[in-house]
Structure 1
């Protein structure tokens, strides 16, 4: 035999020995007994009711398919909105620059009016 096969055999025997040693604890034995009983009950139920299990599996598959379709639609919607934002961003930026320029010019006119005084306001508006 090769070393590889001996390694896996050693792993198997070590696992069996470790499992057997852990069963020396009373609480571990009782938990394992309950788990084994539950697994046996579930296996026998599945063997007695294969049609019901098949229906449940098909129902779950339909739910998963529906969920995947919904997620796909949601992702496509989000991608569309991101594309719209990419197109709108330059337009919004230009609008903000224009607004800033308009306010800056208004503030400059007010500054000139303050500097020139009340009598010379007509000069700044011409």
Structure 2
């Protein structure tokens, strides 16, 4: 258990050291500063307007629910069509075979008549 604890401490220290080293680059610092400002602004907006955030979350959840329902309906439709094809394909195959046999038989009959 102690080794696992050391592992996670080492991971945390490594991550912090890597983050600190990456901040030596001016562009990275500027990007992080901008990201931090955006995150702080977004958090402040959520605190000031919790009803709006809740409303947006509900709206998004409803859109996701509607999309999932539509996909479910589409999948059911596709499954139904696949079943219809499974039933129809043997019938079409049989019909084509019978048609071929009929034409082959007529062709043989014509060949036999010409021979005589």
TM-score over 0.5 for the alignment? yes
User: Relative contact order (alpha carbons < 8 A, sep ≥ 6): 1 or 2 greater?
Assistant: 1
TM-score (norm 1): 0.86
Residue 53, structure 1, aligned to residue 63, structure 2: no
- Following TM superposition, by how much is the alpha carbon of 1:112 offset from its aligned partner in structure 2, in angstroms? 2.2
Unpaired segments of 5 or more residues in structure 2?
A: none
* In structure 2, distance between residues paired with 1:4 and 1:60: 40
1:103 to partner: Cα distance: 0.6
Q: Cα distance, 1:110 vs. partner? A: 2.4
Q: What is residue 40 of structure 2 aligned with on the other side?
A: 40
Deviation at 1:70, TM superposition (A): 0.8
Structure 2 matches for 1:1-126, cutoff 5 A? 2-116=2-116
Secondary structure class of the residue paired with 2:24:
coil
CA distance in 1, matches of 2:88, 2:24: 71
TM-score by length of 2: 0.93
Q: Deviations over 1:55-107 (max 9, x none)?
A: 11101111111111111111111111111111112211111111001110121
Which stretches in structure 1 are left out of the alignment for 5+ residues? 117-126
Please give the root-mean-square deviation of Cα atoms over the aligned residues, in Å.
1.3
User: 2 CA distance for matches of 1:36 and 1:60?
Assistant: 25
Inter-partner Cα distance in structure 2 for 1:5 and 1:50: 38
Tell me what 1:122 maps to.
none
Aligned length: 116
